[in-house]
Amino acid sequence: MVETELIQEYGQGVARIASASDGGLAVGTTGLNISYEREGKIIWSKPMRSDDDKIRPTQRVRSLAFSEDGKTLFIAASDQVVAVDTATGEETWSYSPPRSFGFLVVSPTALDVNGDFVAASFDNGSVVAWDLEGLQLGIWKTNDAPRMLRMLSNALLCGTDSFSVCMWDVTTRTSVKRHRLEERALGFDASATGTVIRRSLRSITVQDMVDLSVVAKHPAPSGPPHVAINQTGTRIAFAGENSITVGPVDNPNEVVPMDGRVSALIFSEYQNAFLAGLSDGRIVTIN
């Protein structure tokens, strides 16, 4: 029997969630505010809104990710990637990409962390990798630059531009694998071992990126495109219209009603549960 629990309420819609290995939780809202909390108490909040007229029309919180020890939160928002010390809320380093042709704003589209590597993709087709201290390890451009991505083990980056699923080695900046999709991917997540869940208009597909075999395929309910998979690649969750379906990869059969629209969905390894952010500002655990 699946159980749900309300763990926090925010005054604005939830746009992004990240869960740390030490119990920390980061939430980005539609109002461009980042909050960090522990044990239900908000430790600090940080506005990410820009006063630049060129940035303001497209600014939003794109991604949140913690370092493995939970001591640093990485934020992709507006036109920046920012590293923040979770103990103090202070920035430790930041990166803003050069503007195209000297005036066109370039924004991050996705970001993730695994081990010693941070990687982010940008809307000009570039991908950048750093170490945790902000040392840039490489930058490359690709026609398959992902709109959604996850860092896997062994310094591999996996992501989708909606039309293909690709893997890159961030240490060599080379493409490792590319799989062309028959249906456009609207939602995406991946386990650390390389099991990918992606959502199209009609289906939820779970795929092993090692041999590209399809592990499972399920009909997609109507609703927002959010999907999530646990770190061992054995349990999945996907959003419906005011609901979330959860369960084993081959038989996700528990439909959990949500009295609100799902706006973010992740798996929390610390809580061993899925976390859902709702458009009314609530965050709910699904065990």
Mean pLDDT by 10 residues, the chain (287 residues): 68 93 94 91 86 63 95 93 96 89 82 94 95 95 95 92 96 94 96 95 95 95 97 96 96 94 95 94 92
Query: Residue 52: its pLDDT value, please?
Result: 64
pLDDT for 11 equals 79
Q: What is the helix (H) or strand (E) element at residue 72, kind and residue range?
A: strand 72-77
Which pLDDT belongs to residue 100?
A: 72
pLDDT on residue 261:
94
pLDDT for the residue 55: 58
Instruction: Please give the full DSSP string across 109-156, using - where no structure is assigned.
Output: EEEEEETTEEEEEETTSEEEEEETT--EEEEEE-TT--SEEEE-STTE
> What pLDDT, on the 0 to 100 scale, is given for residue 45?
93
Q: What is the pLDDT of residue 57?
A: 58
In the numeric block, the tokens 């940035």 are attached to 55
Helix/strand/coil (H/E/C) assignment for every residue in the chain: CCCEEEEEECCCCEEEEEECCCCCEEEEECCCEEEEEECCEEEEEEECCCCCCCCHHHCCEEEEEECCCCCEEEEEECCEEEEEECCCCCEEEEECCCCECCCECCCEEEEEEECCEEEEEECCCEEEEEECCCCEEEEEECCCCCCEEEECCCCEEEEECCCEEEEEECCCCEEEEEEECCCCCCEEEECCCCEEEEECCCEEEEEECCCCCEEEEEECCCCCCCEEECCCCCEEEEEECCEEEEEECCCCCEEEECCCCEEEEEEECCCCEEEEEECCCEEEEEC
- Residue 103's pLDDT is what? 67
Distance CA 199, CA 282 (A): 24
pLDDT on residue 2: 64
- CATH number assigned to the domain covering 4-286: 2.130.10.10
Domain range list for the chain: 4-286
